């Protein structure tokens, strides 16, 4: 276990926030290689702040972030992306005038020369057949749910080893929720990519994730194997 954790993501006693306002306090969290870990918590408790800190968009005031066996606490987002961390923030940001394919190619900007030369890997279109069908259409033609699928696909083109997903299922119709769950399920089945994802759904957390953490007021207040997550804990930590 020690060796596998060393190759995954490990946050230790991380304190992070915006200027003087510290949001995360003593956050310790691990995502092993190939693991799907679900980060839960009410609105405003710091889930997005945690994702941004892992990606390097916010610099922690205290604590360490290790990834792939190296200390990346001071590394820029660009270096983290090159090291294999892919980030899908909340919201959708496709360029409406570029084609779906051109938009996907932008996902390779942060990749190394070899990956850029290889272009969009086949598995991305295999995972998202709708994007293959629509690859020559304008980004603006995609529905909201398709744009959410696109955001995940764009992160996958650079073949990350750790994928950070911030509420990928929020506000989309049930058929696309199922599509995205299927993709995350197949990423998990391959065990070649780890996933840290913010998601409130108990069904998702217990069905697909291996492990969960609950964040409250910037601190981890509960964690465990997902099969142990009960309605009672959800009521205690997550109900408004």
Instruction: List contacts with ligand ATP (CB under 6 A).
Output: 18, 21, 23, 41, 43-49
Residue owning tokens 């991380």? 14
What does each C-alpha distance from 95 to 85, 115, 140, 172 come to in angstroms? 22, 22, 7, 19
What is the smallest separation between the CB atom of 237 and ligand ATP, expressed in angstroms?
13
- Would you say 157 or 195 has its CB closer to ligand ATP? 195
- Name the DSSP class of 138: B
β-pair type (70-71, 85-88): unpaired
What is the smallest separation between the CB atom of 171 and ligand ATP, expressed in angstroms?
12
What is the smallest separation between the CB atom of 168 and ligand ATP, expressed in angstroms?
13
- Would you say 62 or 137 has its CB closer to ligand ATP? 62
What is the smallest separation between the CB atom of 148 and ligand ATP, expressed in angstroms?
15
Q: Is the dihedral of CA 34, 94, 133, 172 positive or negative?
A: positive
- Would you say 103 or 151 has its CB closer to ligand ATP? 151
What is the smallest separation between the CB atom of 42 and ligand ATP, expressed in angstroms?
7
- Would you say 108 or 195 has its CB closer to ligand ATP? 195
- Would you say 136 or 240 has its CB closer to ligand ATP? 240
- Would you say 30 or 47 has its CB closer to ligand ATP? 47
Rounded distance between C-alpha atoms, residue 67 and residue 6, angstroms: 7
CB atoms within 10 A of CB 131: 23
What is the smallest separation between the CB atom of 146 and ligand ATP, expressed in angstroms?
22
- Would you say 111 or 163 has its CB closer to ligand ATP? 163
E strand map for 138-184: 162-166
What is the smallest separation between the CB atom of 122 and ligand ATP, expressed in angstroms?
34
- Which residues, in sequence order, are CB contacts of 42 under 8 Å at separation 6+? 216, 238, 240
Query: 28: exposed, middle or buried (C-beta count within 10 Å: 0-12, 13-18, 19+)?
Result: middle
Rounded distance between C-alpha atoms, residue 22 and residue 10, angstroms: 20
């Amino acid at each position: 276990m020690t060796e596998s954790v060393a190759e995954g993501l490990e946050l230790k006693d991380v304190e992070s926030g915006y200027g003087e306002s510290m949001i995360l306090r003593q956050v310790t969290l691990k995502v092993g290689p190939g693991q799907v870990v679900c980060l839960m918590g009410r609105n405003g408790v710091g889930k997005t702040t945690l994702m941004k800190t892992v990606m390097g968009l916010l610099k922690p005031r205290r604590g360490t972030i290790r990834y792939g066996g190296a200390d990346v606490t001071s590394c820029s987002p660009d270096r983290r992306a090159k090291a294999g961390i892919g980030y899908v923030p909340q919201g959708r940001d496709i360029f409406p005038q570029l084609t779906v394919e051109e938009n996907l190619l932008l996902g390779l900007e942060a990749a190394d020369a070899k990956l850029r030369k290889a272009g969009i890997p086949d598995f991305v279109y295999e995972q998202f057949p709708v994007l293959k069908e629509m690859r020559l259409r304008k980004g603006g033609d995609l529905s909201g749910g398709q744009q959410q699928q696109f955001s995940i696909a764009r992160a996958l083109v650079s073949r990350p080893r750790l994928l950070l997903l911030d509420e990928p299922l929020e506000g989309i119709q049930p058929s696309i929720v199922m599509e995205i769950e299927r993709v995350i399920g197949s990423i998990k089945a391959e065990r070649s990519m780890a996933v840290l994802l913010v998601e409130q759904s108990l069904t998702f957390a217990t069905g697909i994730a291996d492990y969960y953490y609950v964040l409250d007021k910037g601190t981890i207040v509960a964690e465990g194997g997902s099969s142990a997550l009960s309605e009672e804990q959800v009521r205690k930590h997550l109900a408004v």
